[in-house]
Structure 1
Amino acid sequence: MESSPTGSSREESAISRLVLWNIDLTLLDVGRVMRAAYAEAFEKVTGEPLVYLTSVAGRTDSEMFFEFCARNYVDVEPDTSILGEFLDALEESFGRRAEELPAKGWAMPGAAASLAAVASMPDTVQTVVSGSTRANATAKLAAFGLDSYLDLSIGGYGSVNYPKSSLIQSIRLHAAGEGGRAYTEKETVFVTDSAPDVRAALIGGAVPVAVLSGSMTEGQLREAGAIAVLPDLTDPRAVMTAVHQVTA
């Protein structure tokens, strides 16, 4: 995990709040393009068509690949290099489709304004915890001008074969840079639309704030452990208030 661009410690930067964002269905939706990239990459490395998909909620691309294999009756060894081949093929396939993102996808209403609002909060840094590889996550955000509000150098990505809970924990430990103390659980927020992500936040040591932009109901998100649930991101002040209240 890379350190912050300045490499400053917590005391030097005075950062006391870490806000993590899920990307897909929380900040944007590029599912049509992503599914085409999955299918192409899967067939390229396995020689078999990707007929049966799996839920992306709370999953990383590394986790999804092995479930794709299981659901499509493709035998692979977990310790082989095929996962790396798949991720490379996925980045290549998605990269070729990057120009399609504005036409076939969209940013969630209020996403840019909410990111800007949270970025303006004192003593706050924000980044992403994404199931996508770093290259693909960056391409998604850049397509809608959302990348400028985030420190992507300290994010957690599906490029490594770890669950999101581990990615959250790693960011908490390293986001302040070398010499900086780890962010505590009460200083870390994970904003997401899915119940699996809410559970990952609790395991990884972050306060889960949910948004009703995916397929989950408020009841499902609260049952999973969400401390606050927002109807959407169209009210930046409400987003700021939720982040402030759960870290106060």
Structure 2
Amino acid sequence: MSPMTTNVSAGPLTVGFDLDLTLLDTRPGIRATFLAFAEKYGVELDADLVVTRLGPPLEHEMAHWVPAERVTEMTARYRALYPEYAIEPTVPMPGARDALDAVREVGGRTVVVTAKNGPHAALHFAHLGIEPDAIAGRLFAEAKAEALREHGASVYVGDHVGDVRGARAAGALSVAVATGPCSPEELREAGADVVLKDLTDFRAWWKAYVAETAR
């Protein structure tokens, strides 16, 4: 299936954001969905382990728990359960709303580029009352560059080394937040231009970045 993309005019202040553990803490919902999936389909798995390594596509995680020939089938079954179990428990990461607001306050646009299924990403944001200007789903690592270039993003914010690689492939500034499975050292080694503790540090960095680029 091709990535789901919501088209929007690109602009010089377009900022891309990852979803899982960058903008949203989806761990409780993903854990609940995996537990429901395991019970319904008799799959032995460790849901607590699953949520320690969010970032790559769902198929990568599913391959740890089911035979290779059943990954596509079982991934579809998991996704069918997702809206029931994952949306309600999900909350914004600290500073997420303010980071999006900071971009918009200077006339910027926000695009969410995520490995998550696009319709599920949209459900999360609708439930939380968060409205990014665009959503591009089912893209990971270098493949994220496709959407970042399409929307003219000059900055991409994420928590995973794959996000750093995606930003670099798109020629965008890589801003990493140490809120996911990758340490600050791993993010820097992957080539992140900026490493923040979390999105509560984004506004101050963004104001300085905008001022610098305006000169």
TM-score by length of 2: 0.78
Shift of residue 204, structure 1, vs aligned partner: 4.2
Q: Which residue of 2 aligns with 1:48?
A: 43
Describe the shift of the 1:239–1:140 C-alpha distance in structure 2 as closer, same or farther (beyond 3 A): farther
> 3-state DSSP class of the match of 1:214?
coil
Per-residue CA distance 1:213-233 (angstroms, 9 max, x = gap): 235433332222111122222
Task: Choose the corresponding residue for 1:115, options 68, 92, 100.
Answer: 100
Shift of residue 173, structure 1, vs aligned partner: 4.2
Describe the shift of the 1:75–1:88 C-alpha distance in structure 2 as closer, same or farther (beyond 3 A): closer
TM-score by length of 1: 0.69
Task: Choose the corresponding residue for 2:133, options 146, 151, 164.
Answer: 151
| Deviating more after overlay: 224-233 vs 209-218 | 209-218
Q: Which residue of 1 aligns with 2:62?
A: 65
The alignment status of 1:210 with 2:176, answered yes or no, reads yes
Q: Which residue of 1 aligns with 2:77?
A: 89
Which structure 2 residues correspond to residues 20-59 of structure 1 after superposition, within 5 A?
20-41=16-37, 48-51=43-46, 53-54=49-50, 56-59=53-56
Flag structure 1 segments of 5+ consecutive residues without an equivalent. 176-182
> 3-state DSSP class of the match of 2:43?
coil
Describe the shift of the 1:231–1:98 C-alpha distance in structure 2 as closer, same or farther (beyond 3 A): closer
Q: Which residue of 2 aligns with 1:172?
A: 148
Q: Which residue of 2 aligns with 1:100?
A: 88
Describe the shift of the 1:44–1:200 C-alpha distance in structure 2 as closer, same or farther (beyond 3 A): farther
The alignment status of 1:125 with 2:125, answered yes or no, reads no
Q: Which residue of 2 aligns with 1:188?
A: 154
Flag structure 2 segments of 5+ consecutive residues without an equivalent. none
Describe the shift of the 1:165–1:98 C-alpha distance in structure 2 as closer, same or farther (beyond 3 A): same
The alignment status of 1:231 with 2:197, answered yes or no, reads yes
> In structure 1, what residue type is equivalent to 2:148?
R
- Matched-pair identity in %: 31
Separation of aligned partners in 2, 1:110 and 1:31:
17
Shift of residue 31, structure 1, vs aligned partner: 0.6
> In structure 2, what residue type is equivalent to 1:112?
R
Separation of aligned partners in 2, 1:220 and 1:214:
11
Task: Choose the corresponding residue for 2:7, options 4, 7, 16.
Answer: 4
Give the paired residue count: 209
Per-residue CA distance 1:99-153 (angstroms, 9 max, x = gap): 632xxx432222111111112223x32111212111221222333322x1x123x
Tell whether the 8 Å contact from 1:188 to 1:247 is kept in structure 2 after alignment: no
